[in-house]
């Protein structure tokens, strides 16, 4: 919680995306060191506990250089990526190269890469070879909701970066200071046979939202809010 970590300026007014990994204890003082060496005290705005990202804000008299996002639709499996991070405190960033393994992992929240990611990268950028921002590196785990879950995979070749451009609704919620957590539907589900999309209900929890909606065992959840549920992991995300 007191170690150095990395963040990415995503708006010229001083908005910085980083990982919640180094902010699990919500420190009262956060100091940002810019590339110029200038130090700024940052305010933490919102947190997304499902994407493991948080948004910081610093005040600056001048416009700051903001990262340029690459569209996720333009990403391709196999393309080269570079992960950067200052987590070890050196003057130059740690660098790790790899390829994109998948563009929609962790319930479509993250891009997967085989570039080695570790606490030195968490909060830092995953970029393409032209320097465009693909996502913010963060520890994620498909079957564990612990606040630090996913960190046990560091430098394993299984790493995740979360795309969250300012135009996204989730980003705007963070800008408004909201804390986002996973919702509780109240069902236990299993995957359908033959890799069909959807999630079949095994059990409905009493007095849950699912029970109030009159969902029943053996029902299949095909979509939520207009978004197709690909499988139980996607549904939970």
Q: pTM of the predicted model, to two decimals?
A: 0.84
Closest C-alpha among 154, 143, 173, 167 to residue 53: 173
Instruction: Give CA separation, 30 vs 54, 138, 149, in Å.
Output: 12, 19, 23
Q: Which positions ≥6 away from 167 have C-beta within 8 Å?
A: none
Q: What local confidence, expressed as pLDDT, does residue 4 receive?
A: 81
Per residue of the chain (237 residues), what is the pLDDT tens digit? 567 889 999 999 999 999 998 887 778 889 999 988 899 999 999 999 989 999 999 998 889 999 999 999 999 999 999 999 886 666 778 889 999 999 998 878 999 999 999 888 899 999 999 999 999 999 988 766 666 677 777 778 899 999 999 999 999 999 999 999 887 888 888 888 888 888 898 998 998 888 898 989 999 998 887 777 888 777 776
pLDDT for 160 equals: 94
| Token pair belonging to 173 | 């919620």
Compute the distance between CA of residue 104 and CA of residue 233 in angstroms, rounded to an integer: 12
Q: How far is CA 126 from CA 90, 113, 151, 168, 206, in A?
A: 19, 9, 17, 18, 43
Q: How far apart are CA 178 and CA 185, in angstroms?
A: 20
Residues 6+ apart with CB under 8 A from 145: 182
């Amino acid at each position: 919680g007191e170690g150095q970590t990395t963040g990415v300026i995503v708006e010229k007014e001083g908005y910085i995306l980083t990982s919640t990994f180094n902010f699990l204890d919500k420190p009262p003082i956060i100091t940002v060191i810019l590339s110029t060496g200038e130090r700024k005290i940052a305010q933490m705005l919102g947190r997304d506990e499902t994407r493991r990202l948080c948004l910081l804000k610093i005040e600056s008299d001048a416009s700051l250089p903001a990262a340029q996002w690459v569209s996720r639709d333009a990403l391709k499996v196999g393309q080269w990526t570079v992960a950067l991070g200052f987590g070890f405190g050196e003057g130059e960033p740690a660098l790790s190269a790899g390829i994109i393994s998948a563009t929609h992992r962790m319930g479509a929240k993250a891009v997967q890469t085989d570039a080695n990611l570790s606490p030195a990268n968490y909060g830092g950028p995953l970029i393409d070879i032209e320097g465009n921002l693909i996502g913010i590196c963060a520890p994620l785990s498909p079957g564990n909701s612990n606040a630090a879950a996913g960190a046990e995979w560091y430098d394993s070749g299984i790493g995740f970066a979360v795309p969250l451009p300012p135009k996204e609704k989730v980003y705007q919620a963070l800008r408004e200071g909201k804390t986002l957590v996973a919702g509780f539907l109240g069902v236990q589900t299993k995957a359908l046979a033959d890799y069909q999309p959807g999630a079949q209900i095994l059990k409905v929890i009493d007095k849950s939202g699912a029970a109030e909606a009159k969902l029943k065992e053996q029902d299949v959840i095909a979509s939520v809010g207009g978004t197709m549920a690909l499988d139980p992991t996607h549904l939970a995300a």
